[in-house]
Amino acid sequence: MATDTTTENDIADEELEPVADETARQAQRVVAAYAEDADECRMLLSMLGIGPSAKID
C-alpha cells in the first residue's frame, strides 16, 4: 500500500542551514563505517551533502 506524500512538511532548500564542521565530520565517519564499499560511501555522503567535494562551513 502506497503512502500519501504531502508537501506541507517539505523544507525548501533556502531554509536549510549548513551543519557544523564537527557534526559533518562525525556523520562522515559513521557513513564510512557502515558503507559497503567506497562507491557507496561516496554516494551516501553526496546524498547527505557532506561529501568530500562539499564545502563544510
Q: Which of the two residues, 5 and 16, has the higher pLDDT score?
A: 16
Is residue 10 in some structural domain? Answer: no
Tally of domains within the chain: 1
Q: pLDDT by residue (tens digit) across 6-49? A: 567 787 878 778 878 899 999 999 999 999 999 999 999 999 99
Given a cut of 90, is residue 1 above it in pLDDT?
no
In this predicted structure, what is the pLDDT of residue 9? 76
The answer to whether 28 and 54 have CB atoms below 8 angstroms apart is: no
Is residue 56 in some structural domain? Answer: no
Give how far the C-alpha of residue 30 lies from the chain's centroid of Cα atoms, to the nearest Å: 11
Question: Which residue is associated with the grid cell 536549510?
Answer: 16
- Predicted TM-score of the model (pTM): 0.63
Given a cut of 60, is residue 55 above it in pLDDT?
no
Is residue 39 in some structural domain? Answer: yes
In this predicted structure, what is the pLDDT of residue 40? 97
